[in-house]
Amino acid sequence: MTTLPGSSDCPRCQKEMGIEMDWFKTVKASTVLDEGSVATEVDGLRVALWAVDGEIYATGNICTHAFAYLTDGHVENGCVECPLHQGLFDIRSGKALRAPVSKDLATFAVKQEDGYVWIDVNTPGPKSEASPAVTSAIGTDDRTLVVVGAGQAGAETVIALRKLGFGGRIVMVGAEPHPPYERPSLSKGLLLGKRKLEDALVFEPDQAEELMLDLKLGATVVAIETEDKTITLEGGESLAYDILILATGARPRELECTGSDNTEIHYLRDLGDAERLGGALRNAGKVAIVGGGFIGLELASAARKLGAEVTVIEAQSRLMTRLLPAGPANHLADIARENGVEIELDAHIINVSDKGVGLSDGRVIEADCIIAGIGAVPNDDLAGPAGIRTAERGGIIVDMVSRTNLPGVYAVGDVAVRQDHSDGPMLRMESWQNARLSAERAARHITKLNPGAEDDPWFWSDLFDITVQIFGHVNADMPVVRRDGEEAPVFMAQDAIGRVRCVIDFGDPSALREAKTLMADGQPLAADGSGARNSEEDDMKHQPIESRFVWPTDGLVSVPDWVYTDKEIYDREVERIFHGRTWNYVGLECEVPSPGDFIRSYVGPTPVVVSRDEDGEVHVFENRCSHRAAEFCRELRGNASEFVCPYHEWSYDLKGNLAGVPFRRGANGAGGMPTDFNPADHGLCKLNVARRGGVVFASYSDDVESFEDYLGDEMLKDYDAVFSGRKLKLLGHYRHTIMGNWKLYPENLKDPYHATLLHTFLVTFGLLVAGNKSAMICDPKGRHSTMASAKSDKAVSEDNKKEMRAYRDGMSLSDKRLMDFVPEFDSPWSVTMQVVWPNLIVQREMNTLGVRQIVPNGPNEFTMIWTMFGYEDDDDEMTRHRLRQGNLMGPAGYLGIEDNEAIKFVQDGMLNSTPARHTVQLDPDVPAGTSETLISEAAIRALYQHWREEMGL
Amino acid sequence: MRELRPTLDKSLKDVKGTLVRARDPAYREAKHEVEAFNAAYCAVLDDGDLEDWPEFFTEDGFYNIVSRENFDYGLPVGLVYCEGKNMMRDRALAIAKTSMFGPRYLRHYMTNTRISEIGENGMIRAETNYMLIEVLSELPSGRIHQAGRMQDVFETQDDGRLLLKSRVAIYDTLLVHNALVLPV
């Protein structure tokens, strides 16, 4: 690396092409081309010269995030990685490509003359694209968006919103008198006085004005009225909002013990704290820090720099027991100790006083400055009274797009607790990155964009002159592999199958790069912790399924083909879904009305028998003789007093118990079963049975919830409308194969988008009109759903007709009876198509009723068994009405034909073309779940959210 | 009104009577007419000209395609279920004008015609085996789509032509490949 002083001998002020240019002669071009990067100083500016593919470029040399020379960083593919926190810039354009950097580098015009590189500090480089004017959209939207909280998360939300084209008014209310600033340097540069507030501000100078942000600082919000959509400020002023962003952050948890009320204890949350604490530390001789987390260690580092004696007091037996595995946590403790910090572990605080901190073992840690860093409490006080859902442990609950439970109300940053679906885990993260990402998710949702790729968590801490970084998801129990780099170790935390899920780095960029490559690779490490899994004979088949089938990083908006075409995935579905914790439809009670009645059926692909015993109980067992596996029951249905396997005449009772084994005792005293053969151990494989409303379900799982809990209240309502207790009358079956993956069928019924486009019949004859009353309802887990519509007499509007290419006007039915709807259900809907995951569709198409049972035959084909029914109290005309309306559905139904064909076309497309992904992006407003609109794929996304959890993929 | 449960053909149990009737000139004549009718019927369907298909039926004609499984258990559900020629017209219109399905050739074969009864006013009860071959673009070698039998009741019109008063197609091939787009 060559650093040349700049410009004393440079001629200035040349005029070229009428533009004011400021050319400075710098270093020899050959030096730049040889070395790849050269740091120099021009006219007081620190400039980096780069050689990329034989061309020379000039940029600013200081990272826009923190003070580091980029020429000390790693250059690859025309990009430079900052040596400090691995932010990434494009050298040609200066573009900030990867967090934590968000501001672009300055670029400078470059020319070569006389073998020297000349640069012009007043003219940007040619490749620099002017960022699009964010303000052009302002005024196009009459909504007002109010951000409560003027911290980093709130400010990032505003920046992202404007970048994404939000055109409404934006008001930001903040309690502190300062414009939004980033907090990480509070415990570092700002504390030590090395950085000024201006360096930490989120907005660049004049940016707030450019964003047309109405910034109300020093104002405290005292109430949110969600009914009126207003917030009230201290002093009584009220502000109306259409969209509300809660970015209220968190406050330090207070230390409570004897003496804590009348002893000065320092906390660190805002600039005021930092200024006070900085002053105190400069005068302190002995500092006691309560809490051995990152804040505590960063403050310990700062205090040591100022020459104080420092003791860190930690209640647990090691540092960061909840956050980190022991290896990296102990390494951190070692670093602190090497830097002269005393660490007291297992230390319980009894009191605090002017003398210091008293411990339970009687000792007093002497201190003239006491600091507590024992965690933070989310500022969610405004939420509860406003009806915004909060978590028991504090924080405002949001979904994957930062929405709260109330429409138009979002929460971002430290105060937000993310829960992706109603019974999913809750995660609250306090990090610079989370402030930024949660803000971006909210902004993307408000501007109706897809959620975007999910970045792995990332956190950094600067302490004792090293930078500690944590990439990825980690918990204290993960096994850890340590690698020693040249300068520092890197720790890799692994998941259950040995994949690297988190990298914890102590400042060795090359070791970090290697570890991150292993993490991105998604392959389990070898037993010795090496990543050497690339030899020829170590073929893909030896890798666990989770490593070979990796869901796309852009989340639920795309579904990869392998979900539908791979045999291994299919086998796992049978194991985890059909044979897992699910209730599977097996038949109607009216198919087995009397004792001894039986039918053949299936759970997933597995043949079972449904039988009614002498006591009227219904039993479900596998159709497989426990002796030699013969599928003994061959008739579709019948009546029997027992089941006898034809091969060796083993017999079973109607409950599936083994009743008789011919020649069990042998013949003439010879042969036969061993004396300890116990028939009770050799019954048929029995499944658990649930019945509701005349329908029989079976489950392989012993710990599955009740059928009612499985379906949930909302889904039960639609289910019970059909199975209300009215006795069912069997009308007959259809059986057909569909050459497609079985999931395409439930998907078809979670895809209201197709209904008016594919099914021209519905539209032509007025059964379904875009814009008429309809709904696509999902259960909270995303597995079950109801597609519902209410019959309308409205004609199709001209606008909607144009959208539906297949629309054919001027046709009407000769026999109108097909469309008659005889009201007979306790439901606002005339049509409900309900998916009861995984294998049942309940069809209520006006008065034609049926259940469709999915029987998968491998990944590329399934059989559908339809059982059509009416009610016992139907008269002949009602039965005929159901049969006539049956022309809509089934393998020859007006709608059925089209769905079957479409599903086949989809599978053909996947099997015959280049494997790729499906796009399911419609309706970004609802990331997954129930949507208000039919032009939506949110229900499909919800299905795959659930599927991925069940499959562990 | 028609009985919901299709009745079994009693004449199947009367082998001697069947053989005797087969030699009866009236039955031979009726068989000839039914075969000529079915040849025309198949030709129309094979041609794909679905809108002419209802013309083989009386105004109150009945048409049902029912699986042998349902038929044997007396269950009325059919793949296609039409009460009256208007419903057939609607099906022809819907399939021809609104339905989406892949291109295909269909070839119908009707054989083994038996006349089981000749009634008053030119009523003919007949039974015929049928087979439907389906050729799809992805399956150019074709396959059997359905095999089964028709139970028919014909009505002789004033001009002497036969029309179907009822046709019930009972298919043995229980598992339908994908979809049945055209009548049989």
pLDDT of the residue at A487: 82
Residue A776, SS3? strand
Give the pLDDT band (50/70/90) at residue A16: very low
Which tokens go with A432?
Answer: 């610079």
Contact between A369 and A308 (Cβ < 8 Å): yes
Fold agreement (A3-120, A584-699):
yes
Structural domains in chain B, CATH included, are 13-171 (3.10.450.50)
Q: Which CATH superfamily is domain A584-699 in?
A: Rieske [2Fe-2S] iron-sulphur domain (2.102.10.10)
Question: Of B177, B89, B59, B118, which is closest to residue A813 (Cα–Cα)?
Answer: B89
Question: Of A717, A693, A694, A759, which is closest to residue A902 (Cα–Cα)?
Answer: A759
pLDDT of the residue at A7: 37
CA A253 to chain CA centroid, Å, is 29
Domain A726-805+827-951 coded CATH 3.40.250.10? no
Alpha-carbon distance of A793 to A416, in angstroms, equals 46
pLDDT of the residue at A1: 37
Whether A818 and B83 lie within 8 Å, measured CB to CB: no
Question: Of A660, A685, A554, which is closest to residue A609 (Cα–Cα)?
Answer: A685
Alpha-carbon distance of A758 to A537, in angstroms, equals 49
pLDDT of the residue at B5: 41
Alpha-carbon distance of A382 to A222, in angstroms, equals 7
> Any CB–CB contact under 8 A between A639 and chain B?
no
In this prediction, residues A352-374 reach a mean pLDDT of 93
Give the pLDDT band (50/70/90) at residue A20: low
Q: What is the pLDDT of residues A805-831, one digit of tens each?
A: 445 555 788 898 988 899 999 999 999
DSSP H helices in A430-490:
432-446
pLDDT of the residue at A603: 98
Q: DSSP assignment of A836-877, as one string? A: ETTTEEEEEETTEEEEEEEEE-STT-EEEEEEEEEETT--HH
pLDDT of the residue at A594: 96
pLDDT at A416 over 90: yes
pLDDT of the residue at A65: 81
pLDDT of the residue at A802: 59
Pairing of strands A169-174, A213-217: parallel
Shortest Cα distance, chain A CAs vs residue B129, angstroms: 21
Contact between A241 and A230 (Cβ < 8 Å): yes
pLDDT of the residue at A76: 84
In this prediction, residues A866-878 reach a mean pLDDT of 97
Shortest Cα distance, chain A CAs vs residue B85, angstroms: 9
pLDDT of the residue at A69: 87
* CA torsion through residues A585, A588, A592, A595, sign: positive
pLDDT at A380 over 70: yes
Question: Which CATH entry fits the domain spanning A254-374: 3.40.50.300, 3.30.160.20, 3.40.190.10, 3.50.50.60?
Answer: 3.50.50.60
In this prediction, residues A115-142 reach a mean pLDDT of 70
CATH number of A458-548: 3.30.390.30
Whether B95 and A905 lie within 8 Å, measured CB to CB: no
Alpha-carbon distance of A97 to A81, in angstroms, equals 10
Q: How many CB atoms lie within 10 A of CB A638?
A: 12
Pairing of strands A409-411, A243-246: parallel
Shortest Cα distance, chain A CAs vs residue B27, angstroms: 34
In this prediction, residues B137-143 reach a mean pLDDT of 94
Q: Which of B77, B91, B93 sits opposite A868 (nearest CB)?
A: B77
pLDDT at A492 over 80: yes
pLDDT at A518 over 50: yes
Name the E strands within A604-657.
606-612, 618-622, 637-639, 643-644, 651-652
pLDDT at A609 over 50: yes
Percentage, residues of chain B above pLDDT 90: 79
Pairing of strands A37-42, A3-4: parallel
Which tokens go with A664?
Answer: 């069990």
How is domain A134-251+378-446 classified at the CATH fold level? FAD/NAD(P)-binding domain (3.50.50)
Q: What are the structural domain ranges in chain A?
A: 3-120, 134-251+378-446, 254-374, 458-548, 584-699, 726-805+827-951
Alpha-carbon distance of A364 to A384, in angstroms, equals 41
Shortest Cα distance, chain A CAs vs residue B164, angstroms: 19
pLDDT of the residue at A6: 38
Give the pLDDT band (50/70/90) at residue B128: very high
Give A16 or A563, the one with higher predicted confidence: A563
Whether A734 and B87 lie within 8 Å, measured CB to CB: no
Q: What is the pLDDT of residues B149-177, one digit of tens each?
A: 999 999 999 999 999 999 999 999 999 99
Amino acid at A20: E
Name every residue whose Cβ is closer than 8 Å to that of residue A101 and which is 6 or more positions away in sequence: A63, A64, A65, A82, A87, A88, A89
- For B76, name the nearest residue in chain A, comparing CA atoms only: A731
Whether A637 and B73 lie within 8 Å, measured CB to CB: yes
Question: Of A285, A259, A295, A286, which is closest to residue A186 (Cα–Cα)?
Answer: A295
Residue B45 exposure: Cα atoms within 13 Å on the Cβ side: 20
pLDDT of the residue at A652: 97
User: Cα-flanking dihedrals φ and ψ of residue A116, to 5°?
Assistant: -110, 155
Shortest Cα distance, chain B CAs vs residue A765, angstroms: 10
For residue A100, say if its preceding peptide bond is cis, omega within 30 degrees of 0: yes
Give the pLDDT band (50/70/90) at residue A21: low
Give the pLDDT band (50/70/90) at residue A42: confident
Q: What is the pLDDT of residues A201-225, one digit of tens each?
A: 999 888 888 899 999 999 999 999 9
Contact between A45 and A51 (Cβ < 8 Å): no
Provide the edge-to-edge strand list for the sheet that holds A409-411.
Answer: A213-217, A169-174, A144-148, A243-246, A409-411
Alpha-carbon distance of A341 to A169, in angstroms, equals 50
In this prediction, residues B93-100 reach a mean pLDDT of 89
Contact between A651 and A643 (Cβ < 8 Å): yes
pLDDT at A15 over 60: no
pLDDT at B103 over 90: yes
pLDDT at A607 over 70: yes
Whether B175 and A737 lie within 8 Å, measured CB to CB: yes
Q: Tell me which chain B residues have a C-beta less than 8 angstroms from the C-beta of A732.
A: 66-67, 70, 73, 75-78
Q: Tell me which chain A residues have a C-beta less than 8 angstroms from the C-beta of B91.
A: 887
Q: What is the torsion angle, in degrees rounded to the nearest 10, for the CA atoms of residue A178, residue A184, residue A187 and residue A189?
A: -80
In this prediction, residues A354-377 reach a mean pLDDT of 93
Residue A71 exposure: Cα atoms within 13 Å on the Cβ side: 22
Q: What is the 3-state secondary structure (H, E, C) of chain B?
A: CCCCCCCCCHHHHCHHHHHHHHHCHHHHHHHHHHHHHHHHHHHHHHHCCHHHHHHHEEEEEEEEEEEHHHHHCCCCCCCCEEECHHHHHHHHHHHHHHCCCCCEEEEEEEEEEEEEEECHHHCEEEEEEEEEEEEECCEEEEEEEEEEEEEEEEEECCCCCEEEEEEEEEECCCEEECCCCCCC
Alpha-carbon distance of A123 to A22, in angstroms, equals 8
pLDDT of the residue at A900: 94
The residues with which B118 forms a beta bridge, in sequence order, are B124
Give the pLDDT band (50/70/90) at residue A941: very high
Name all contacts of A237-243 with Cβ < 8 Å and 24+ positions apart.
A239/A146, A239/A171, A239/A173, A240/A144, A241/A144, A241/A145, A241/A146, A241/A171, A241/A408, A242/A143, A242/A144, A242/A145, A242/A168, A242/A408, A243/A143, A243/A144, A243/A145, A243/A146, A243/A168, A243/A408, A243/A409, A243/A410, A243/A446
pLDDT of the residue at A253: 94
Mutate to test the interface with A, among B4, B51, B67, B81 (most CBs of A within 10 A): B81
- Average pLDDT score over chain A: 89
Q: DSSP assignment of A425-436, as one string? A: PPB---SHHHHH
Q: What is the pLDDT of residues A910-939, one digit of tens each?
A: 999 999 999 999 999 899 999 888 889 999
Q: Tell me which chain A residues have a C-beta less than 8 angstroms from the C-beta of B137.
A: none
- For B5, name the nearest residue in chain A, comparing CA atoms only: A731
Report the first-to-last Cα separation within chain B, whole angstroms: 24
In this prediction, residues A121-145 reach a mean pLDDT of 69
Give B3 or A86, the one with higher predicted confidence: A86
User: Cα-flanking dihedrals φ and ψ of residue A820, to 5°?
Assistant: -65, 140
- For B184, name the nearest residue in chain A, comparing CA atoms only: A892
pLDDT of the residue at A829: 93
- For A885, name the nearest residue in chain B, comparing CA atoms only: B81
pLDDT of the residue at A194: 81
Whether B99 and A818 lie within 8 Å, measured CB to CB: no
Provide the edge-to-edge strand list for the sheet that holds A637-639.
Answer: A584-588, A695-699, A686-692, A618-622, A606-612, A597-603, A637-639
Report helix angle A326-338 to A294-305, nearest 10.
Answer: 10
pLDDT at A477 over 70: yes
> Any CB–CB contact under 8 A between A901 and chain B?
yes
pLDDT at A232 over 80: yes
Q: What is the pLDDT of residues A301-345, one digit of tens each?
A: 999 998 999 999 999 999 999 889 999 999 999 999 999 999 999
In this prediction, residues B101-126 reach a mean pLDDT of 94
Q: How many CB atoms lie within 10 A of CB A608?
A: 27
Alpha-carbon distance of A335 to A328, in angstroms, equals 11
Domain A3-120 coded CATH 1.10.3720.10? no
For residue A838, say if its preceding peptide bond is cis, omega within 30 degrees of 0: yes
pLDDT at A129 over 60: no
Q: How many residues does chain B have?
A: 184
Contact between A523 and A500 (Cβ < 8 Å): no
Name every residue whose Cβ is closer than 8 Å to that of residue A763 and which is 6 or more positions away in sequence: A756, A769, A770, A796, A804, A806, A807
Q: Tell me which chain A residues have a C-beta less than 8 angstroms from the C-beta of B139.
A: none
Give the pLDDT band (50/70/90) at residue B28: very high
Q: What is the pLDDT of residues B58-69, one digit of tens each?
A: 999 999 999 999
Give the pLDDT band (50/70/90) at residue B57: very high
Alpha-carbon distance of A548 to A566, in angstroms, equals 11
Name the E strands within A565-636.
584-588, 597-603, 606-612, 618-622
- The DSSP secondary-structure symbol of A650 reads -
Name every residue whose Cβ is closer than 8 Å to that of residue A436 and which is 6 or more positions away in sequence: A99, A102, A152, A153, A156
Q: Tell me which chain B residues have a C-beta less than 8 angstroms from the C-beta of A890.
A: 79
pLDDT of the residue at A154: 96
Whether A897 and B4 lie within 8 Å, measured CB to CB: no
Whether A879 and B4 lie within 8 Å, measured CB to CB: yes
Q: What is the ipTM, given to two decimal places? A: 0.94
Q: Tell me which chain A residues have a C-beta less than 8 angstroms from the C-beta of B75.
A: 730-733
pLDDT of the residue at A368: 92
DSSP H helices in A667-797:
707-722, 744-748, 752-758, 760-764
Q: Which of A737, A761, A886 sits opposite B99 (nearest CB)?
A: A761
Considering only the C-alpha atoms of chain B, give the largest distance between any 2 of them, rounded to a whole number of Å.
50
Contact between A672 and A557 (Cβ < 8 Å): no
In this prediction, residues A515-532 reach a mean pLDDT of 76
Q: Which of A53-57, A813-817, B127-131 has the highest mean pLDDT?
A: B127-131
Alpha-carbon distance of A104 to A70, in angstroms, equals 13
In this prediction, residues A700-719 reach a mean pLDDT of 97
Give A247 or A476, the one with higher predicted confidence: A247
Helix then strand then coil, % of chain A, to nearest 5 = 25, 30, 45
